[in-house]
Structures are given as structure tokens and as C-alpha cells.
Structure 1
Amino acid sequence: MDYIETWKEVIQRPSNFYRKMPTAGGYAEPLTFAAISYFIYGLLTALFNRGMMGGMSGYGGMYGYGMGSGGYGLTTALMMAIMMPIIGIISIFIGAAILYIIYKVLGGKGSYEGTVRFISYATAVMLLSWIPFIGWIFGFYGIYLYILGGMIVHDVSMVKSAIAVLLPTFLIILIVIIMVVLAGSIAYTMIFPS
């Protein structure tokens, strides 16, 4: 696998990429791609977004054994870069299971492996999403990659794929709102008993 060529294809021509992408053949290649994406994302995020430069000043900041002036050092940045692929791969398998079930409910014809594959390649956007102030724009492009990949792999409409991709987020937001309302109600009745 040529990571750079695959990355360019996913970012520049995702529709063509997902149509040519095999939906079977093992997990090694797509997960290797995702692991590289997570590693680079973790390293760049740790170095540039989390205070690496601030961590270099002060006692031990550069070597990770001191917090310096509020940042952290190179060792911590490397640990974050190493942990990101592990956490990322686990999240891919869990996310793929959730999406696979939703796609099946919506009439999708794809496989769990195909779902893991399109999610793995959608991590290409992570090489851009770490950029301060504008990274969130690429996050939206990542959602588009999920919707497009799911549409092609599961042979569903764009609308059904968007529902499958956005439904888990909507449910989490709804659960959080319900929990906040319940917590507020309980707190209110404790503070102002009838």
C-alpha cells in the first residue's frame, strides 16, 4: 500500500476511490492506513495544538518529565502519537458495528468488513483536521466521506447513508439533553422541595 497515493485518492476523488475499493479481502491494509493516519494526527496534534512549544520552556519540558509553563514535552507527544492508533483502531471496530447495524435496518446490503474499510480510509481527513482554527472544516469533509463510503458500500441512497451516519450523533446529543434536564429537575426539587 502506498499511503500517500491512497491518501490523495481518498481526499481528491473519494467517489472513485470507494467505488474501486474492495469490500472484502481482510482488514490489514485499511487498518494499516488508519493507524498511520491516527499516528500522524496524534503527533501533529500533540506537537502543535496542545502546548508543545510552551512545554519546551521550564524545567524538563522538552523531555516530557516536567510540565514547564503549562505545556508538555516531546515524550508526552510521542506517547500520544503511539496511543492514538490503538484507540483509533478500537473506535473503528466499535463505530463500524454501530453503523453496520443502522445500515442493515435501513436496507443496506454491505458487510461489516466493508464498513470497517470505508471508515478506515475516511481517516485520511485526519491529516488536515488537526490544523488550528480551520481543522473543523475538514471534520465536515470527514462526515461527507463517511456518508459517501456508506452509500457506496451498502448500496443505499445518499439520504439513508446520511441518516445512518448522523443518527448516532443525534442520539448522543438527545441523551445528553435528557440527562441535563433530569439532573436540573432533581436539583430543583432538592433545592426547592414542595
Structure 2
Amino acid sequence: MLEDFPEKLKSFILSPTEAFRNIKNGDVGDALVYYVVLLVIYSVLSGIVNYFRIDPIMKVLYSSVPAGTVAIFDIMNIIYGIVGGIVGFFIIGLVLHLFVLIVGGKMGLEQTFKSVAYASTPGFLLGWIPVIGILFAFYGIIVQIIGIRELQEVSTGRATVAVMIPLIILFGLIILAVLFFVFAVVAATGIAA
């Protein structure tokens, strides 16, 4: 199951089209194990980066945390990251599959789950690197589009729509939530007056 793990990592980074073709008939259980192992690696490496405050964003966030609780906070972040990542896997897979069905994908939910698992490779493998890690997350979106195209046997355009529409909706909801929060704070504190 994990004997070809390093080779899969390399192939999903360097040649994702071929990699998805190779796992098309693979087991969704293998994909989930791959995803969880990668998630644990990512969570631990992110925890280490956070512990040493290498990431400038995390330095600001941690500046208000009492010194005695920082290590506990870091360990809890790792655990929450793993649990949240597993729950997120299923939620993302189900939502993505809804849009795959809308664009005409007919190869089944398991193929979408495999796409989600393997497309996480760039973001999980290299996304923990401060500042530039976000580039690998964006590359993961491209890999996700390739995965949906190959595993659901739809065109690149349809795969792009299936992947991007939920992301656009998510970012829209995040922007609305932030705006709501800002307006609520302004209204509650009377800052604008």
C-alpha cells in the first residue's frame, strides 16, 4: 500500500496526468491511506514551523499566546489539523462530486475521492514552507483539475468548472463573513461615529 509512496509523491508533483492515469483503477482505500500519511507529514512539519515561529503570519498570531501554553497550543494545532483534514477530505470530496455530476462526470464518487486525495500532494508536501507554500496550494488546484479530468473522463474545461465553482463560492462566503464581522465590530463599538 505505501511501498510506492515516494514514487507517487514524485509523480503527482512532476507528471500528474500520467500519475492519475496510473491510479485510475486503484483502490479508494489506498488513496485515503496516502492522503492521511501526507496529512500527518504536513501537520507535523507545519507544527515545527509554527513552533519556531518561522512563518511571519504565525509570529503575529502567537504574540498574544502566553509563553507557558505555546507548546500545548502547537500540539493541539497538529491534532486539530489532522482531524480537520480527515473530516475536510470527505466534505470536499462530496461537494466537489456534486459539481462533477453537474458538469457531466459519471465515473463515481470513488474517483472524485481519489482525485481529492492525490491532488493534495503539492499542498501537503510543500505547502508548509513559509511564504512560498501558498504557491504549492495553488498548484494543487491545477493538479485537482487534472485529476477530475482524468478520473471522471470530462474535458479540461468541465473539470475546471467543477473545481473552480466551489472555490469561488467558498471565497465569496469567506469575504462575506469577514465583511459581516467587520461591520458588526464597527456597529458594536461605534468606531465609524
Q: TM-score, normalised by structure 2?
A: 0.77
Q: Once the two structures are superposed, what CA deviation does each residue of 1:110-162 show, in whole Å capped at 9, x if it has no partner?
A: 21011111111112111101101111111111000110000111111111111
What pairs with 1:3-82 in structure 2 (closer than 5 Å)? Answer: 3-23=5-25, 25=27, 27-48=28-49, 50=50, 52-53=51-52, 67-68=66-67, 72-73=70-71, 76-82=73-79
Q: Give the RMSD, CA atoms, in angstroms.
A: 2.8
Q: 1:84 and 2:86 equivalent? A: no
Q: Distance in 2 between matches of 1:177 and 1:137?
A: 21
Q: Once the two structures are superposed, what CA deviation does each residue of 1:32-59 show, in whole Å capped at 9, x if it has no partner?
A: 11111111111111111x2x136xxxxx
Q: Once the two structures are superposed, what CA deviation does each residue of 1:77-96 show, in whole Å capped at 9, x if it has no partner?
A: 44433443332121111111
Bigger Rg over Cα: 1
In structure 2, stretches of 5+ residues that fail to align are: 54-64
Q: Which has the higher helix share?
A: 2
| Greater relative CO, 1 or 2 (CA 8 Å, sep 6+) | 2
Q: Any conservation in 1 of the 2:96–2:163 contact (CA below 8 Å)? A: yes
In structure 1, stretches of 5+ residues that fail to align are: 55-65
Identity %: 26
Q: Distance in 2 between matches of 1:23 and 1:67?
A: 51
* Secondary structure, counterpart of 2:105 in structure 1: coil
Q: Distance in 2 between matches of 1:24 and 1:33?
A: 12
Structure 1 stretches (4+) deviating beyond 3 angstroms? 75-83, 173-181
Q: Distance in 1 between matches of 2:128 and 2:77?
A: 14
Equivalent of 2:110, from 104, 109, 113? 113
Amino acid at match of 2:106: K
Q: Distance in 2 between matches of 1:3 and 1:123?
A: 14
Amino acid at match of 1:121: Y
More displaced, 77-86 or 137-146?
77-86
